[in-house]
Each structure stands twice: as C-alpha cells, then as structure tokens.
Amino acid sequence: MAIEVFNRQEEKFIITEEVYRNIKPYLEEYMEVDDHNRNGNFYTICNIYFDTPDNEMIRKSIEKPAYKEKLRLRSYGIVGSRDKVYLEIKKKFDGSVNKRRTPIALEDAYHYIRTGQKPEVKYLMNDQVLNEIGHILHRYPMLQPALFLSYDRSAMFGIGDKNFRITFDTNIRTRRYDLSLDKGNYGDPLLPAGLWIMEAKLNKAAPLWFAEVLSRYKIYPTTFSKYGTEYRQMVLRRT
C-alpha cells in the first residue's frame, strides 16, 4: 500500500515571470529539477475542489481559522474515467500543512463523494485515508464538485535536502462548470498575465542561500490560496 502523507511548512510568494528567469540560475546551483521537468517543459496539474452548495468549506477557510481543511481530486494532465487520480485531504493547523491522499480510479472517486459508499480497497490504495475522507463526507453530507482549477508547474528539490522543494505555478485556470477531470483543461485566468505563484515547501528552516536570493530580488512572502482567490473573485462578480 502506498502511503501518501506529507507534513510540512509552506511559504508562498507572488512573482513575475522575469523574476523567475532571474532566480532560476541561482536555484539550480543548490537544487535539481523534478523528473517531470527534465525536458524543460512544465507539467500540468488539474484539481476538482469539493464543497457544499453554499461554499461552506471555502468560506470557513478564508476566515483564517486555526484549523482548516479542503477535499480535492487531483490528476496530472487530463484523464479518463478509469485512469488513476488522487483523492486528497489538505489540512492546515497553526501554520503546518498536512496532506493525505490515496490513488483511486476517477469514476470510483466520484462515486464515493456522491454516495458516501467507500470503494473496495485495491492495490496501492490507502485505506486509512479513505476512512478519513468518509468522516469528512459525514460532516459535510452535501459535498459536490465546486471548482475546476489547473496550472502548469515547474518543481525543484534541494540537492542535499530532498524535503526542501520549490514550485512555480503559472497559467492558473478555473471554471465552475464541466466539473470533471475528464472534461478538458481550460478555464478563465485566475491572475493577470505574467504573475506566477512560487511556493517553498520545507520541514525545517529555509537554507541561508535561499533567504539571500529572496533578499536580493526583494521577494516577500504572502498569504495566497488559489481556491480562496477564485472564490473572492466570484463573490465580487456577483455583487
């Protein structure tokens, strides 16, 4: 059984494409690119976020409580109904992020969310994570697909510390229709052209060299949620 559990701190930054081009050579001195980026291309991540009809989960999240959680379905590129995706719980408590996920067939994931009937546990699936998702479905019995969100990503890992990871997300797209991972990768842009999200994921303090890069290019941390930003934009459009 594949245990897919991540515990870490996360810091986010909004940068321009120009800044990305400038800092990339410095990062490459201490980091190596993700296997998916070996050819120089970005890879695509697609997500479906689940919520109640009145958006209870995201409304609670943007109020910045001490504890918050999200349930989402993730694929790498466009998939078919029997292809493997990841059903994920993302929790945040007191600044620490815990992500737990299990591989599952796309149609089985949707059936579980829709009916609450736990699927048969097959090879590589994480039974404990499925049970935790069941508790969320019990607390939020009206969960349904709420948002499609995708982006193109480049990722790097520390050469001496594989737990230190930096990701760059660009071309963030969202839609609140055709809410399935097999419907295509398209939507409205979340951010103005040229703005990227850089995220540092780490289990301990960031290395000194990284702090020096941030200082040199005047890159400052910010609070940012892709789902939360889309929700705020949707509310503004309706007012």
Q: Where are the domains of the chain?
A: 4-238
Tokens of 40: 């120089």
Query: What is the identity of the amino acid at 117?
Result: Q
pTM as predicted? 0.93
Average pLDDT value for residue range 82-103: 91
Nearest residue to 124 via CA among 104, 139, 108, 109: 104
| CA dist 6 → 70, 74, 215 (Å) | 15, 15, 28
Q: Which of 3-12, 104-113, 183-192 is predicted with the least confidence, judged by mean pLDDT?
A: 3-12
In sequence order, the β-bridge partners of residue 141 are: none
Q: Is 94 helix (H, G, I), strand (E, B) or coil?
A: coil
CATH architecture, range 4-238: Alpha-Beta Barrel (3.20)
Checking if the pLDDT of 86 tops 50, the result is yes
Q: Which of 6-20, 71-85, 181-195 is predicted with the least confidence, judged by mean pLDDT?
A: 6-20
The average confidence (pLDDT) of the chain is: 93
| Contacts for 109 with CB less than 8 Å, ≥ 6 apart | 73, 85, 87
